[in-house]
Amino acid sequence: MKSPAELLNNLFAEALRAAFGEAGRDVDPLIRPATDPRFGDYQSNVAMGLARTLGRRPRDIAQALIDALGVGRADARVSYLIEPPEIAGPGFINLRLRREFLEAALSSVPPAPGGAEDVDLAELPADRLGIEPVDESLRRTVVIDYSSPNVAKEMHVGHLRSTIIGDTIARVLAFEGHRVVRQNHLGDWGTQFGMVILGMWHLCKAERRGEPEDWSERRLSELAAARSAGGDALRAYLTRLRDEHQAELDRDPAGVEFAAFLRSFAPRLVRLLPAYQFVNAVESAAEDFDLTVVDRQNNKQVKFSAVSNHVVAMLQRGGSADDQERQAWQLAIRASLEACGAIYRRLCVLLTEGDVRGESFFHDMLPGIVEELRLSLPARGADEAAATGSTGEWVRAVCRDDGGAVCVFLETPDGTPRFKGPDGEPLPLIVRKSDGAYLYATTDLAAALYRMSDNRRRPIPLRSASLRAALAARDPHHGGLGGDRVLYVVGMPQKLHFEMLFATIEALGWTRAGEPAAPRVRLEHVAFGSVLGEDRKPYRARSGESVRLKDLLDEAVARARRLVEENDARRGDDAGQAPLSDAEKDAIAEAVGIGSVKYADLCQNRGSDYVFSWDKMLAMQGNTAPYLMYAHARIRSIFRKGAATCDDAPIVLEHAAERALGMRILQFGETLSAVSTTLLPNLLCDYLYELAGAFMAFYENCPVLRAPDEETRVARLRLCDLAARTLKLGLGLLGIRALQRM
């Protein structure tokens, strides 16, 4: 089933060619929903624009177009679709869909597949409402990078938008028939990682000394006290910690204790986190003091404020001497993934451990990436190094050393820098620090290569043999994910980074590689704004720390639970149905609470910041999850109460409210297309809100179970069924459960 807008679009495109020949080819018919019900259902605004190019009066053009459409001719396909169009104002063509068409289109929607109530929100909903996937020729492989939590930290509000928006986009694109590859770019290789490992080491030592379980928390508050007491107290405290640290190293230079500890350690994030925070706090406090310890192998002095860096260096250097660090690292990842998995399941987010390709996954490609940049982007700009970016601008990239760091300078063809720093000097993309360490830009280049490359469809020619080998080692079979479209669901502040990254990739020519038939790769930064508190500053807990996602969700569910309780009590027996059991209340509170948090985020325009408000997201009125869920529950209630079925009864759109509801239902498909091209989930939210509003109006005006006659009754039931299924499907694509009762 195609949506009305799509049908109109196709018919108008044909008519444009028929009426105006070449001049009408590839002209967008500009089919839009009517701005006012009096003007019909849709309108075409193409005539006014065409007036200039054709040198004719817009109303004449509109008339010619209508003649070419052939409405009213018995043999014209358009005749069953619309009433004869009217020309209005300067040349608007007003279109009114025929009632018979609407009724037939709605009646032809296949019944919901049996088995009905799917508990999980699967990637592909069982009930498609007759909506077909996009044409085979338009299907793409879409790689979507979202969520990307940091292993060293617990998930917090900062991860909410990426996780939720990314998941919805993934669901919508998959529903449209695209091959979606989710990627969770876990932050598992950064500097903070040394702190986690070091924290685990401290846990080990504390345990051996027989200290209490909350050792880390105690040390943290001791440190805070020493800090506020001033310089000398802090120095004394840090010196004590240093001595303790050194004593432990001396006691067990081979790390036998730590190795044993790791073998039996059941990693739990609740223990890891305070230990990490402790190390973090100690190191930042120690920066101002000249304290050192001898490193694990006892060969050199290490600054006490930089022990974790040293651990990172050991970890990243590789080799069997550092197995211990590697093992600790694996355990920490394990713990983090389990914590993330719990959050994802609760959020009904599709990400699994199979989608994780963290920073560490790419780390051995990094030297090859730098070599590739050096070979492909020589200082004397070769032709290959200049290309039109996806924005259509020309970019030229030059890779050279600067101050000991390896840099990519992006330039316009005449050599002026594309990006500048605060001092007005060219701002490069730095891919290797002067100390030899790699940065996230390097990892992002490696990840992008992996995501686009495909041995068969899009082999990317690489000059660096070591990079070729490293890429092949990652995915020997396919040589990469073969993405035609690579999406990065990452916050707005990183816009500059992605501009530079994409410009570099374009200059390397990776997006244009592969067989001629392969589409050019589109790289897109799906940017989003921040979550703000009522004070319009980034949303934080009262303590000033960012809010843990787990706490946020707990509170949402608790608030929803109170509402369920209140409401059930107020309703009493009035509704003539059994009160909700505790288990039902729990389930409803969970769905409503989580759904409200998600919906409040998704219904905002992705690009803008939004103010987090419990009252608004849990409100029953307005564009909220509870409102939509209520509309769905109300419909299901009709079926429950009437023990009714409607099977394949023909739809009748007699009443204006019936027609309006039917029209909305049919517009679901075109809404999805809009979401997949703009990647704006709020368009889907707006649609669902309007759909629910149309249902509410219908509900007030058109009795269903008490309909005047049986024919009307079953027709209305069928319309209700379609409305409920559309709501359920739409909510499902947002990763929100629809409820039977609430």
| Binding residues for RNA restricted to 518-547, rule: CB under 7 A | 532, 536
The least distance separating RNA from the CB of residue 39, rounded to whole angstroms, comes to: 4
C-alpha pair distances (Å), 187 with each of 88, 332, 530: 58, 12, 20
Give me the 29-68 binding string for RNA, x by CB under 7 A, dash otherwise.
-x-x-xxx-xx---x-x--xx-xx-----x----------
Q: What is the Cα–Cα distance from 61 to 131, expressed in whole angstroms?
A: 34
- The reply on whether position 579 binds RNA by CB under 7 A is no
- The reply on whether position 427 binds RNA by CB under 7 A is yes
The least distance separating RNA from the CB of residue 713, rounded to whole angstroms, comes to: 9
Give me the 660-679 binding string for RNA, x by CB under 7 A, dash otherwise.
-----------------x--
Q: Select from 317-325, 341-349, 468-476, 563-571 the region that touches RNA (CB under 7 A).
A: 563-571
Q: Select from 62-70, 123-131, 260-268, 619-627 the region that touches RNA (CB under 7 A).
A: 619-627
Region 697-726 residues binding RNA, contact defined as CB under 7 A: 697, 699-700, 702-706
The least distance separating RNA from the CB of residue 198, rounded to whole angstroms, comes to: 16
Q: What is the Cα–Cα distance from 398 to 715, expressed in whole angstroms?
A: 68
Q: Number of C-alpha atoms within 13 angstroms, CB side, residue 415?
A: 3
Which one, 248 or 359, has the nearer CB to RNA?
359
DSSP 114: T
| Binds RNA (CB under 7 A): choice among 12, 361, 528, 610 | 610
Please give the span between the terminal C-alpha atoms of the chain, in angstroms, as a whole number: 32
Q: What is the Cα–Cα distance from 669 to 671, expressed in whole angstroms?
A: 5
Dihedrals phi, psi of 436, to nearest 5 degrees: 95, -10
The least distance separating RNA from the CB of residue 243, rounded to whole angstroms, comes to: 29
Which one, 148 or 376, has the nearer CB to RNA?
148
The least distance separating RNA from the CB of residue 514, rounded to whole angstroms, comes to: 27
Collapsed DSSP state (helix, strand, coil) of residue 231: helix
Which one, 179 or 497, has the nearer CB to RNA?
497
Give the total of residues touching RNA (CB under 7 A).
Answer: 109
- Burial tier of 22 (Cβ tally within 10 Å: 0-12, 13-18, 19+): exposed
Region 339-368 residues binding RNA, contact defined as CB under 7 A: 359
Region 477-496 residues binding RNA, contact defined as CB under 7 A: 492-496
484-523 exposure pattern, b = at least 16 Cβ within 10 A, e = fewer: bbbbbbbeeeeeebbbbbbbbbbbbbbbebbeeebeebeb
Which one, 39 or 258, has the nearer CB to RNA?
39
Per DSSP bridges, beta strands 92-95 and 42-44 are antiparallel
Q: Select from 113-121, 170-178, 281-289, 424-432 the region that touches RNA (CB under 7 A).
A: 424-432
Q: Select from 69-77, 87-95, 334-342, 389-397 the region that touches RNA (CB under 7 A).
A: 87-95
Q: Is the alpha carbon torsion for 58, 63, 69, 72 positive or negative?
A: positive
Q: How many residues does the chain have?
A: 742
Residues 6+ positions from 102 with CB-CB distance below 8 Å: 651, 653, 659, 662, 663, 666
Alpha carbon dihedral 269, 274, 275, 279, in 10-degree steps, equals 130
Is residue 208 within 8 A of residue 197, CB to CB? The reply is no
The least distance separating RNA from the CB of residue 365, rounded to whole angstroms, comes to: 15
- The reply on whether position 303 binds RNA by CB under 7 A is no
The least distance separating RNA from the CB of residue 32, rounded to whole angstroms, comes to: 7
Alpha carbon dihedral 291, 295, 299, 301, in 10-degree steps, equals -10
- The reply on whether position 84 binds RNA by CB under 7 A is no
Q: Select from 173-181, 280-288, 473-481, 610-618 the region that touches RNA (CB under 7 A).
A: 610-618
- Pull the structure tokens for residue 150: 């940091």
Q: Is the alpha carbon torsion for 34, 38, 41, 45 positive or negative?
A: negative
- The reply on whether position 426 binds RNA by CB under 7 A is yes
- The reply on whether position 423 binds RNA by CB under 7 A is yes
| Binds RNA (CB under 7 A): choice among 110, 113, 404, 415 | 404
- Burial tier of 75 (Cβ tally within 10 Å: 0-12, 13-18, 19+): exposed
| Binds RNA (CB under 7 A): choice among 234, 343, 407, 675 | 407
| Binds RNA (CB under 7 A): choice among 568, 586, 590, 614 | 568
Is residue 692 within 8 A of residue 635, CB to CB? The reply is no
- The reply on whether position 130 binds RNA by CB under 7 A is no
Q: What is the Cα–Cα distance from 659 to 656, expressed in whole angstroms?
A: 5
Dihedrals phi, psi of 237, to nearest 5 degrees: -65, -45
Helix crossing, 549-571 with 582-602: angle to 10°?
120
| Binds RNA (CB under 7 A): choice among 352, 388, 434, 645 | 434
| Binds RNA (CB under 7 A): choice among 575, 645, 648, 654 | 575
| Binds RNA (CB under 7 A): choice among 310, 346, 497, 522 | 497
Region 132-161 residues binding RNA, contact defined as CB under 7 A: 150
- The reply on whether position 391 binds RNA by CB under 7 A is no
Strands (E), 30-178: 31-33, 42-44, 86-88, 92-95, 141-145
Which one, 73 or 495, has the nearer CB to RNA?
495
- The reply on whether position 387 binds RNA by CB under 7 A is no
Helix (H) or strand (E) holding 241: helix 231-251
Which one, 206 or 704, has the nearer CB to RNA?
704
Radius of gyration of the chain (CA): 31
| Binds RNA (CB under 7 A): choice among 92, 201, 261, 599 | 92
- The reply on whether position 417 binds RNA by CB under 7 A is no
| Binds RNA (CB under 7 A): choice among 54, 134, 541, 638 | 638
| Binds RNA (CB under 7 A): choice among 363, 634, 718, 725 | 634
- The reply on whether position 428 binds RNA by CB under 7 A is yes
Region 178-207 residues binding RNA, contact defined as CB under 7 A: 187, 190-191
